[in-house]
Each structure stands twice: as structure tokens, then as C-alpha cells.
Amino acid sequence: MAILAVNAGSSSLKFSLHPLQDGQVQPYVLSGCIQGLEPRGTPVMDWVYLGKKHSEPLAVSAGSSSFESALQSLRALVHRLEAAPDIQAVSHRVVHGGGVFTGPVLVTDEVLARLARFNSLAPLHQPHNLEGIRQFRAAFPQLPQVACFDTAFHASMPEVDFAFALPQALQEQGVRRYGFHGLSYQYIMSVLQTHTIRGRGRVVMAHLGNGASLCAALAGSSVATTMGFSALDGLMMGTRSGSLDAGVLLYLMEQGWTHAQIEKLLYKQSGLLGVSGISADMRKLRADGSAPAQRAIDQFTHRVIRETGALVACLGGLDAIAFSGGIGENDAVLRAQVCERLGWLGIRMDEQRNQAANGQGAYAIHAPDSAVEVWVVPTDEGRIAAKEAAALLAGQPVAAQRQAQHPALAQD
């Protein structure tokens, strides 16, 4: 048996198939992504099975949507692969669980209705996550569908960090910091604690990609993070602004900007793309070499350094820092610049190891005399989602599982 972990977006569907062995979730045997699912797109399915890469175009069946055809192709793929395990359940990454869902949940109509209330808090992700669940429920009606939340890992944050300086009545309505990228941080933390005792201490994790955030963890538990009420706060991102003086929004409203215009500006026209005017892709900006491209890179790097310093202050020091996400895992220049600017913490980089980090597994890139350990940890949100689903279906309390894995939590 296996758990199928999926992440449905506006134009893509990421998937990974994780076998169960003696009740334990194993690394995926099948992973891939179906892209081109937007209207008038050209769907293509790329996948890796037992280490071998494959790619094939997908035909959209008459009377079906691109997503429905993609699910048909995915189901056919799993059935035709030799020795592929049977699917026991489908586990979905859902960005926002609000303050209601702090652990995995079996999807029902009521659950979907409650999750839809958070659509406006993560408009780039939440509606597409939920539509993916609806489509999977229709395509695989016999399988349990489990929702796992990016906000859940941050449920341990103290009120002093999650509360805004607003009237209490607004907090009671749910206006507070939630934090995101939780499935990624949960995976990174589990890997760090396997590789180093420092993972049980004061850790900053950097999930840097098109969406970017930082998380401060103490004894394996999130205590502060840069993203907040929505996935806009904190670091500058690919197309998102990150932290912004609310007065800017008041000014734009006075100038006649509509809600739709402001939302488009903040979510789709800012960040690396907005500053450079060239691209949201860090690789393209590195290759471009122009002054606007360099300005965007420098601003992104500075924001990472600045916010890391704030989280270190919250932790009272730093034992380890871990880089993940598309930029964090692959941009050695950024890692070197961040660690150099944080040298006052006693961080010393091994540049040869930094250049050698290849995304194949957790890799230490600090020098032997570094006071802080530095790691590159390729994330695997799908495996965490699969573990959450397997634990839920087996009747195991997930929170209790985390305490057993991280005994320090039980002492808090």
C-alpha cells in the first residue's frame, strides 16, 4: 500500500507516491509534475519512477477539463507501472488551515466549506488546493482524502509573536499571524534532528523560492516566522512584495486603486519581478547581469539577512541555519553572501562544500571552526503530507507523535 501526496496549483499538479512498510512511510518511488493545466495550456506530465525520468504530452478528453484529464492520466500511470503499490489514500497540501485546523484532517463537505473561508488569505494557493481536493474526490471516490496544512507547524508560536498590535476584537475574529511553509519546515526539522544534535537547539530555517519565508525553531517547535496573516508578509519573493508599510496601501486607495488592482500588485507584480522588471526567476536574474537584475538580487539577499537577524534575536542565539527551496538549495552565491553578513554570529562557511551542495540530500557546508552549523536540506513536503495522512488513518495522534520524535517538546 502507499499514500499519494499531491499539491494542486492553478496550472500544475505535483505528485509523489510513498510506499508504506510496517506502517512507516518510505521515500517516494514515483514523483512528478503535470504542467500546462491552465486554460488553453498544453498539458505535459514529467515523472521519475525508480530513478528513471520520463515525459509525455497529455491529451484532454472531450467534455473533460485539463485537470480531470490529468487525473485520468495519473491514475493510468500508477496502474501501468510495474510493481507500483496500491494507493491507500490521497494526502493534499493545503496552504491555510486558519486557527481551526492545526493537524491533518479527513476531508468532508463541511471541512471543504470551512477551508473555503480562507481563500482570500491565500488567493494564489487556497482556491486551487481546494479545487484539487474536489477533483480527486470525484476521480477517486473510494479513497480517503486527507488535508495537511502549511499553517499547522506554526500552531506552537507564542501569542507574543502571533498577535498583531490591533484591538483584541480583531484577533478574536482570526486576524493574527499564522505562518506558512509548515510542511517544508517540519521536514527540514526532522532531517536536521537526524543529522545533528544542533537540530534540537536554536535553528533558523530558510525556505527560499518563488515563495519565501524564514522560521525560527526552538527544540523542534516553531516560535516565530516571517509570513503572517497571509502569504504576503516577510521576505521579498518572486512576485510578492513581502513586508510593506500599511501606509502604502492607504495611499494607493486614496489614489483610487481598487482591491483587485492592489491584490494584483502585491501578489503578482512585486518582488524580484517588480524590482527588476525582468523576471521572478533568480536564475534568470543571475544570468542577466544588468543593474536592475542585480538590484533585485541585492534587495532579496538583504531581506533574508535582515529577517534572519530578527529571528536570531527571538531565539537568543543560533545553533544552526538550514537553506531549502529552489533558491536556498541551488544558489551557492546567495548562501555565501548571507553567511558572510551573519559572520558576527561566528558562522564560517566552507566554500568548497558550499559549491558542492547538489540537492541530493542534507549536506553540511560550514567550516570546522564555525560556531553555527550551516546545512542545505532539500525539502520534501510530500513525504510529510504522506506521514501525516498515514498517522491520521492509523488513529495515531499526530501531535503526540511529534512529541515522541522531539522529547524536548514534552518538557515545555
The pLDDT-based confidence of 397 (bands split at 50, 70, 90) is: low
- Note the pLDDT of residue 409: 28
- Note the pLDDT of residue 321: 98
What's the whole-number mean pLDDT along residues 138-151?
Answer: 94
User: Do 392 and 398 meet the contact criterion of CB atoms below 8 Å apart?
Assistant: yes
* Entry pTM: 0.91
Q: What does each C-alpha distance from 141 to 41, 79, 88, 137 come to in angstroms? A: 27, 17, 12, 5
The pLDDT-based confidence of 407 (bands split at 50, 70, 90) is: very low
* Model confidence pLDDT, tens digit, residues 298-340: 999 999 999 999 999 999 999 999 999 999 999 999 999 999 9
Q: What is the mean pLDDT of the chain?
A: 92
Positions at the binding site for Mg(2+): 7, 381
User: Do 355 and 114 meet the contact criterion of CB atoms below 8 Å apart?
Assistant: no
Same fold, 2-149+382-394 and 182-235+279-379: yes
Of 44-53, 62-71, 185-194, 269-278, least confident by mean pLDDT is 62-71
Give which of 390, 356, 363, 392 is closest to 378, Cα–Cα: 363
Domain range annotation of the chain: 2-149+382-394, 182-235+279-379
C-alpha 212/C-alpha 208 separation (Å) is: 4
* Model confidence pLDDT, tens digit, residues 264-289: 999 999 999 999 999 999 999 999 99
243 backbone dihedrals φ, ψ, rounded to 5°: -55, 135
- Note the pLDDT of residue 205: 98
Q: Which residue has the cell 478528453?
A: 61
Cell representation of residue 102: 492545526
- Note the pLDDT of residue 128: 92
Positions at the binding site for substrate: 93
C-alpha 323/C-alpha 317 separation (Å) is: 18
C-alpha 221/C-alpha 14 separation (Å) is: 27
Is 150 catalytic? The answer is yes
Residue tagged active-site, from 150, 233, 331, 380: 150
CATH code, residues 2-149+382-394: 3.30.420.40
C-alpha 290/C-alpha 242 separation (Å) is: 23
C-alpha 108/C-alpha 258 separation (Å) is: 35
User: Do 206 and 235 meet the contact criterion of CB atoms below 8 Å apart?
Assistant: no
Sign of the torsion formed by the C-alpha atoms of 196, 361, 34 and 18:
negative
The pLDDT-based confidence of 398 (bands split at 50, 70, 90) is: low
C-alpha 388/C-alpha 14 separation (Å) is: 17
CATH code, residues 182-235+279-379: 3.30.420.40
Positions at the binding site for ATP: 14, 207-211, 281-283, 326-330
What's the whole-number mean pLDDT along residues 94-118?
Answer: 94
> Given a cut of 80, is residue 82 above it in pLDDT?
no
Q: Are strands 145-149 and 87-94 parallel, antiparallel or unpaired?
A: parallel
Q: Which residue has the cell 484591538?
A: 167
Strand partners, 278: none
- Note the pLDDT of residue 23: 83
Strand partners, 53: 48
Of 223-227, 307-311, 360-364, least confident by mean pLDDT is 360-364
The pLDDT-based confidence of 384 (bands split at 50, 70, 90) is: very high
Of 75-79, 242-246, 405-409, least confident by mean pLDDT is 405-409
> Given a cut of 70, is residue 154 above it in pLDDT?
yes
C-alpha 377/C-alpha 337 separation (Å) is: 18
* Close Cβ partners of 241 (under 8 Å, ≥ 6 residues apart): 232, 265, 266, 270, 271, 274
* Model confidence pLDDT, tens digit, residues 56-66: 998 887 777 88
